[in-house]
């Protein structure tokens, strides 16, 4: 048996040696491109390391760690020997990074206390203890234990954008530990008493998980009408139930969107849905304040 091999016409590049790989492979193996790519990776790695190395960490002792509600803890840090750190906090809604001994990875925490308390050498946080997290380690620490903190960061709540004479209505929304920077806002004073309608819709699973209830009376006295919203209330609860966004829709009264502002902090879905409702009503997007 014999085989006949037919020869097809040569392609335009058929004069090249058949041992050479296709040009697509040559391009992938192009030494200059490969070198450039590796060089860029090294530069990115070095840049990331430099950024990490330039983070200023300030050690400070804990002066208080105690339960605030179910799975939530009050954590107070003594800044009496760290005035530069204390002075970095200037606006409610700012946050920082905190790390505990022997753990490199830090945790981001919103500062719950108002800047005026920082001036006295104190930062306070509301920390949710989640199993296996850095927050759980922090909540298990004791008075005198030392943590490390960065300077305060973030723009915070830009309250100067909503002066009381132009925005008499302010709607505040918070869920879970998102109440932390809202506490700072309220206790810093944002002229709630000079506004005609300030409401705080505060959502939690039940009253056992609702922090700062001992502060509600003072917040009300400052001009903030508090609307607790429980998603899984205990028997006998007669207040608002379900999710914050639904409670707001049910309780919503006519308001002038041109003179209304809002402040949001907490669960992502809540923030997105409340924002959609406010925008649909005509509230300006730049008057819906968030701390991120």
Tens digit of each residue's pLDDT (9 = 90 or more) over 72-124 = 999 999 999 999 999 999 999 999 999 999 998 999 999 999 999 999 999 99
- Tokens of residue 192, six digits: 């709630």
Question: Chain-centre distance of CA 251, in angstroms?
Answer: 27
Q: How many CB atoms lie within 10 A of CB 84?
A: 10
- Tokens found for residue 85: 């750190």
Q: Which residue has the higher pLDDT, 220 or 39?
A: 220
For residue 27, give every residue at least 6 positions away whose Cβ sits within 8 Å of its Cβ, in sequence order, or none.
33
- Identify which has the larger pLDDT, 105 or 43: 105
Q: Evaluate the CA torsion angle 100, 106, 111, 117 in order and state its sign.
A: positive
pLDDT above 70 coverage of the chain, percent = 82
According to the model, what pLDDT value does residue 42 have? 61
In 54-142, where do the E strands start and end? 58-69, 72-78, 95-99, 107-110, 122-128
Residues with Cβ within 8 Å of residue 69, at least 6 apart in sequence? 204, 208, 209, 210, 211, 213
What tokens were used for 16? 């090249």
How confident is the model over 151-163, as a mean pLDDT? 96
Residue 32 CA to its chain's centroid (Å) = 43
Give pLDDT, residue 5: 39
pLDDT of residue 33: 57
Q: What φ, ψ does residue 183 adopt, rounded to 5°?
A: -55, -45
Does position 156 have pLDDT exceeding 50, yes or no? yes
Q: Note the pLDDT tens digit of each residue in 65-74.
A: 999 999 999 9
Distance CA 182, CA 111 (A): 10
Residue 129 vs residue 28, higher pLDDT: 129
Higher pLDDT, 40 or 22: 40
Distances (CA, A) of 291 to 10, 88, 261: 68, 16, 14
Q: With contact defined as beta carbons under 8 Å apart, do 193 and 226 qualify?
A: no
pTM of this prediction? 0.80
């Amino acid at each position: 048996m014999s085989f006949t091999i037919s020869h097809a016409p040569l392609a335009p590049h058929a004069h090249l040696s058949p041992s050479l790989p296709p040009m697509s492979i040559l391009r992938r193996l192009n030494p200059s491109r490969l070198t450039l790519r590796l060089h860029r990776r090294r530069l990115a790695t070095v840049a990331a390391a430099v950024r990490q190395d330039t983070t200023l960490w300030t050690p400070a002792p804990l002066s208080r760690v105690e339960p605030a509600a179910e799975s939530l803890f009050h954590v107070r840090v003594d800044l009496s020997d760290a005035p530069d750190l204390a002075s970095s906090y200037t606006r409610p809604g700012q946050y920082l990074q905190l790390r505990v001994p022997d753990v490199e990875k830090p945790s981001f925490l919103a500062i719950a206390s108002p800047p005026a308390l920082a001036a006295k050498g104190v930062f306070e946080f509301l920390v949710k203890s989640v199993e296996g997290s850095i927050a759980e380690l922090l909540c298990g620490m004791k008075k005198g234990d030392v943590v490390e903190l960065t300077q305060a960061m973030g723009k915070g709540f830009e309250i100067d954008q909503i002066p009381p004479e132009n925005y008499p209505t302010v709607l505040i929304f918070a869920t879970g530990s998102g109440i932390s920077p809202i506490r700072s806002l309220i206790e810093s004073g944002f002229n709630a008493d000079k506004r005609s309608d300030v409401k705080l819709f505060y959502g939690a699973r039940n009253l056992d998980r609702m922090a700062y209830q001992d502060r509600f009376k003072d917040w009300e006295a400052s001009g903030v009408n508090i609307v607790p919203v429980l998603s899984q209330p205990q028997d006998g609860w007669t207040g608002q139930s379900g999710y914050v966004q639904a409670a707001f829709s049910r309780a919503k009264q006519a308001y002038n969107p041109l003179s209304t502002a809002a402040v949001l902090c907490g669960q992502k879905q809540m923030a997105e849905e409340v924002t959609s409702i406010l925008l649909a009503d005509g509230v300006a997007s730049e008057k819906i304040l968030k701390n991120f």
